[in-house]
Structure 1
Amino acid sequence: MIVLGINGNRREHNSAASILIDGKLVASVEEERITRIKCDSAYPSGAIAEVLAIAGISEQDVDVIALANLSRWDQKPILDKLFKRVALLGKQEPELKKFYWKHLFERYTRALRPRRKPEGGLANKPVQAIGHHRAHAASAYFSSPFGDERVGVITLDGAGDFSWGSVWVGANGKMQEVLHLSYLNSIGLLYSAITHHLGFIAGRHEGKVLGLAAFGNPEPFLSRLMAHTNPKDWNALFDARLTRVPLRPVSPMGTEVVKELCGNLSREDIAAGLQVYTEQMICAWVQEQVGKMNVSKLVLAGGVFSNVKLNQRILALPGVENIYVHPNMGDGGLATGAAFEVYVQMHGALRPELGSVYLGTQINRENALKALQEAGVSFEEPENLAQTVGRLLADGKVVARADGGMEYGPRALGNRTVMAPCHDPSINQWLNKKFARTEFMPFAPVILQERAHEYFPDWAEDQIAARFMTVTYNASEIAKQNIPAAVHVDGTARPQVIRREDNPGYYDILSEYCAITGVPSVINTSFNMHEEPIVRTAEEAIRAFEAAGLDALVLGPFLYRAKAN
């Protein structure tokens, strides 16, 4: 059975398409990688065509289409409940009262607007819509490494289908719903609103705020946020004043409140207070859910769980034995989750199984050779590519690698990656400058699994989340000494722990570098210019390599050295 999952209708971001064949995820691509527009929200026509091509099938082969997010009509009961809450809070906050009356009629008219339907050969295929947070939950649970074990499934993001989170119990290949959270209390949207206030792009640059937080003092901003928060009731988490923020995070109704809260505090202190607030609030709530569900393992999805420091705190909670964060935790993973859920609804159950994350466009010998020849550049095919690249890295060179299937999700995991030695902390300034980036968190390291515990003592082999760079760890003294460029000012790093069976070519390069230097780790940063998506094709890799002025490019089995041209 072939299921095509689609996220991309109306105002969703990270439009994407995924293909599931007999319950196995075989392809997934976000529309941004096709159009080269970061976080593209357009209908994913290009992504649909690409995943069909990757899977080697046609539109006619698709049995059913899974659409992420409910129809507007099916959203109406959730919206009605939300409006009742706004009306109640409007008695305390005049702006909420104005909002209620201004948008009261719209909640009826919006339900009549149809969503875009698949076209062409897909137009007559059966279609099922899957709720936003159900899709997030399914993406994490059915791709998790915990098999038949009973686990807790938690989703948290900004908002989707007028909710910002959900809780489920996963067992025996099925999910049972526990609760949903109204987006009026969205810590995710609060984080985005403050990201906007600090001069960054909401929904895209929250990671910059996370990095900035380590440089500040959480007080008094933490206390200011807590004064508007009721931690004992997550159905009424925000008071009337703070509720204005998730309703309109980047419009005056929300920005006025954020500006008032932030006052004249430094952006470092604002970021620190926001991050500590996020960690404290969510960790306390997660621990409560773990107790209620009577589980020790968690699978997590939703954009809030792109916050790697939060994930470290959750992993350390008493009673939490292990976590798995879906590699495409944001809305780019909804297409996958919708496809999984439709498959399960039609077949009754699906045993969770960890699969590959290299699910995108392939760069191989044939298309790499064609791109290099068309670019008119000199290149070579080393007899021992890994050894040659390991030596370049040991000599202090910066090497990009574009080979094999493109990664699934926002993290570069070796196939669309830029590598460099970690011994010089100043690389975070000069390499970011090459890519026209502004970051406050250092580059992440990739490390051989055999040496991971030596550099990150809290890491354990069964912590699969570390393979996908979704959690930070405290760095050891030897890590601070040997890879200081990858260690943040708070003493943490966000490693990708690599095994040879996961990516032999990438692993072998790192192994050769280690044989020369004795250091089992190099920097791994995504292969893209600032505000551009990660490169997809061989042609894009060549353009980005030349624009950044790097030293060498591994393209399939070939090596393109900048100095030779």
Structure 2
Amino acid sequence: MKVLGISPLDKDATVSVVVDGKIIFAAGEERFSRVKQQDGFPKLALEAALAYTGLQISDFDDVAYAFMNWGSEADVINRNLDEEKAFIERFEPQNLQEQIKEALKKVPERVQPIHGLTEPNAKMEKGLLHNSYYNMAGIQKFASNGIALKGSKAWAEEAVSSFQRWEKELTAGLAQFGWNKPVKRVDHHMSHAANSYYCSGFAEALCITLDGYGTGLAGSVCEAKNGKIRRLHGVSYPNSLGTLYEHVTSSLGFKPGRHEGKIVGLASYGDPDILKDILLSRIEQKDGDFKIYEANNIYFSRYLASKFPKIDVAAAYQRVLEIVAVNFVQHWVKKTGISNVVLSGGVTANVKLNQRIFEVHGVEQLFVYPNMGDGGCGTGAALYISQHGQVQPTIENAYFGPDYSEQDMLSALEEAGLQAERPENLAASVAALINEGQVVARFDGRMEYGPRALGNRSIMYHAREPEVNQWLNKRLGRTEFMPFAPVTLFEARERCYHNIAGAEHTAEFMTVTFDCTEFMRENCPAAVHVDGTARPQLIKRDVNPGYYDILKEYEKLTGIPSLINTSFNMHEEPIVNSPKDAVRAFLDGKLDYLLLGPFLVKNPAEQH
């Protein structure tokens, strides 16, 4: 059975090809258009999928899409708004003015600089007029209730309009390729549950999904057994941990839906206890569910950001995210007795949260779908309708995108006027360069699917130098608060990370943090965050021999089994796709060396 999966068109539009329950191609439109999180019909990605697989549109049995039709989505959204209004009317909030007053007394003086901030206790200074409005709209009950409901209504109107627009674009886009049959629609959160379960390899799993919005829900719990998935509970929108985190991302001056990782990084510098109880007092948690008071009032987080240090606001939101999600998972693990947990949905891009979920009592194994956001929903929808009570082996890698020939690579180098060598022992040559302090970008094999670079489109550097986080990010035009992530030899995992047993496989996809060992902290400080954690990619030779061999040769030279792996792209650009993309990013980023397939290229600007 051949199924074409199309992810939601509102952002990160992605095409997936699933044949007999196995993913044979998956790639986001952004990699071809070169526009980060590209929305709209994924025409270029579909062309690439057909070209790579040799399939025609007529070869597919079904086309799957991870939302219901716009009318069904509108109906459930309207029901949700009615439920929200009733909840706000019955909820009794605590006295915010008193809470804020007490919290302000807890803010410490700080002098230790934090890279990226003007000073460690920097706030979002907005001026008297803005601050007065935030005070009224964010914490004055009569006004804030109305603004929250107004925010939900405005969101709903925009969402329904978008569903109508994307439905037309989906139909028209498929028709251009010759598909005029109906599209099979899959409940959004079921598509998340399906991608995490069917790719985990577990016969039995508890599927937890958490995101911003999807078919009336912001989260769900499913029981999966022997290839079948059954929903146990849904968290109704707008009680959304995704929206909660988007709000603080925006309120701290970053782009929601894109820069949430910066908040995770900032959070490690702050004190979560200053604001934690205030946030928790606005969340009702009981019976394996949660409801968020005034969920669509962004002015509450803006008020906090104007009054408190950014790092303390970030820390509180991160901690509360962890507390609410952990309580949610804990309830359902205890109720079902299922010890294998699989995660999907945009909220589970939060690697610190995933560590906390793995630490839940009763959780023995964890798998996080590598493309956990909406870009992965097309694959989930395709897997869902192509499975018939079957348990598939786990995915071994996420190299589902296109690859390119040596001639393609030579043509890109020739066009840029670059000279290349072809070393006899490529891995040893590259490892020696990295050991000497050279920055090497690697482009080889099939492109990674999902938000994380996993070696085939990566920039490598040794992890012995903490300062690399500043100067390399500056060279690439990035502003980050998280350190670079390490790639670590699979067999060295327990030498580098504590309590990794049961999450080794998901760590192959860089989806969870672990506490670092003393060995890792001493030898790879550039990859260890201030809280002592790191987000590794574990690598096996049979998964990616070329990448593995470089790291193994580096270990022979240094005794260290880890290197820095950061995505090969410039700031606000998608990860590179083609050899031309790689050459341009290599030159623009002023990187020292480019490893393009078997070819090693020295940056001419670095030659003397």
TM range, normalised to the smaller chain?
Answer: over 0.9
Identity of aligned residues (%): 43
Q: Is the 8 Å Cα contact of residues 172 and 351 (structure 1) preserved in structure 2?
A: no
Deviation at 1:459, TM superposition (A): 1.9
Q: Deviations over 1:302-348 (max 9, x none)?
A: 1111111111111111100010000001111011001101212xx45
Instruction: Report the more deviating stretch, 352-361 or 157-166.
Output: 352-361
Q: Does 2:299 match 1:256? A: yes
Deviation at 1:258, TM superposition (A): 1.9
- 1:81/1:425 Cα in 2 relative to 1: closer, same or farther (>3 Å)? same
Within the candidate set 113, 121, 127, 2:183 is matched to 127
Match of 1:272, as an amino acid? A
Q: Is the 8 Å Cα contact of residues 419 and 523 (structure 1) preserved in structure 2?
A: yes
Instruction: Determine the structure 1 residue equivalent to 2:598.
Output: 557
Paired residues, number: 548
Q: Is the 8 Å Cα contact of residues 137 and 168 (structure 1) preserved in structure 2?
A: yes
The DSSP-based 3-state class of the residue aligned with 2:506 is: helix
Instruction: Determine the structure 1 residue equivalent to 2:560.
Output: 519
The DSSP-based 3-state class of the residue aligned with 1:159 is: strand
Instruction: Determine the structure 2 residue equivalent to 1:198.
Output: 252
For 1:214 and 1:26, locate their aligned partners in 2 and report how far apart those are by CA, in whole Å: 39
The DSSP-based 3-state class of the residue aligned with 1:119 is: helix
Instruction: Determine the structure 2 residue equivalent to 1:308.
Output: 351
Instruction: Determine the structure 1 residue equivalent to 2:277.
Output: 223
- 1:446/1:106 Cα in 2 relative to 1: closer, same or farther (>3 Å)? closer
Instruction: Determine the structure 2 residue equivalent to 1:270.
Output: 313
For 2:596 and 2:162, locate their aligned partners in 1 and report how far apart those are by CA, in whole Å: 48
Instruction: Determine the structure 2 residue equivalent to 1:295.
Output: 338
Q: Is the 8 Å Cα contact of residues 63 and 126 (structure 1) preserved in structure 2?
A: no
Q: Does 2:451 match 1:410? A: yes
The DSSP-based 3-state class of the residue aligned with 2:458 is: strand
Instruction: Determine the structure 2 residue equivalent to 1:43.
Output: 41
Q: Is the 8 Å Cα contact of residues 324 and 465 (structure 1) preserved in structure 2?
A: yes
Deviation at 1:353, TM superposition (A): 3.0
Deviation at 1:105, TM superposition (A): 9.1
Instruction: Report the more deviating stretch, 282-291 or 555-564.
Output: 555-564
Instruction: Determine the structure 2 residue equivalent to 1:437.
Output: 478
Deviation at 1:136, TM superposition (A): 0.8
Q: Is the 8 Å Cα contact of residues 8 and 375 (structure 2) preserved in structure 1?
A: no
Q: Which consecutive unaligned segments of at least 5 residues does structure 2 have?
A: 91-144
Q: Is the 8 Å Cα contact of residues 366 and 503 (structure 2) preserved in structure 1?
A: no
- 1:550/1:104 Cα in 2 relative to 1: closer, same or farther (>3 Å)? closer
Instruction: Determine the structure 1 residue equivalent to 2:147.
Output: 95
For 1:65 and 1:502, locate their aligned partners in 2 and report how far apart those are by CA, in whole Å: 30
Q: Is the 8 Å Cα contact of residues 367 and 503 (structure 2) preserved in structure 1?
A: no
Q: Deviations over 1:458-493 (max 9, x none)?
A: 222762111111111111111111101111111111
Instruction: Report the more deviating stretch, 15-24 or 77-86.
Output: 77-86
Deviation at 1:110, TM superposition (A): 8.5
The DSSP-based 3-state class of the residue aligned with 2:231 is: strand
The DSSP-based 3-state class of the residue aligned with 2:272 is: coil
For 1:472 and 1:112, locate their aligned partners in 2 and report how far apart those are by CA, in whole Å: 39
Within the candidate set 189, 201, 207, 1:145 is matched to 201
- 1:52/1:350 Cα in 2 relative to 1: closer, same or farther (>3 Å)? farther
For 2:273 and 2:596, locate their aligned partners in 1 and report how far apart those are by CA, in whole Å: 48
For 1:102 and 1:60, locate their aligned partners in 2 and report how far apart those are by CA, in whole Å: 40
Q: Does 2:351 match 1:353? A: no
Q: Is the 8 Å Cα contact of residues 8 and 44 (structure 1) preserved in structure 2?
A: no
Match of 2:590, as an amino acid? G
Q: Does 2:236 match 1:182? A: yes
Instruction: Determine the structure 1 residue equivalent to 2:427.
Output: 386
Q: Does 2:497 match 1:456? A: yes
Q: Deviations over 1:42-75 (max 9, x none)?
A: 2111111111122121222222101111111222
Equivalent residues in 2 for 1:7-18, closer than 5 Å: 7-9=7-9, 12-18=10-16
Q: Does 2:367 match 1:324? A: yes
For 2:146 and 2:343, locate their aligned partners in 1 and report how far apart those are by CA, in whole Å: 37
For 1:366 and 1:204, locate their aligned partners in 2 and report how far apart those are by CA, in whole Å: 35
Q: Deviations over 1:399-446 (max 9, x none)?
A: 000000000111111000000011110000000011010011100111
For 1:120 and 1:349, locate their aligned partners in 2 and report how far apart those are by CA, in whole Å: 34
Within the candidate set 204, 209, 212, 1:158 is matched to 212
Match of 2:357, as an amino acid? I
- Per the normalisation by structure 1, the TM-score is 0.93
Deviation at 1:394, TM superposition (A): 1.0
Instruction: Report the more deviating stretch, 536-545 or 54-63.
Output: 54-63
- Per the normalisation by structure 2, the TM-score is 0.86
Q: Is the 8 Å Cα contact of residues 63 and 125 (structure 1) preserved in structure 2?
A: no
Q: Does 2:516 match 1:478? A: no
The DSSP-based 3-state class of the residue aligned with 2:584 is: helix
Deviation at 1:261, TM superposition (A): 3.7
Instruction: Determine the structure 1 residue equivalent to 2:6.
Output: 6
Q: Which consecutive unaligned segments of at least 5 residues does structure 1 have?
A: 246-253
Instruction: Report the more deviating stretch, 321-330 or 162-171.
Output: 162-171
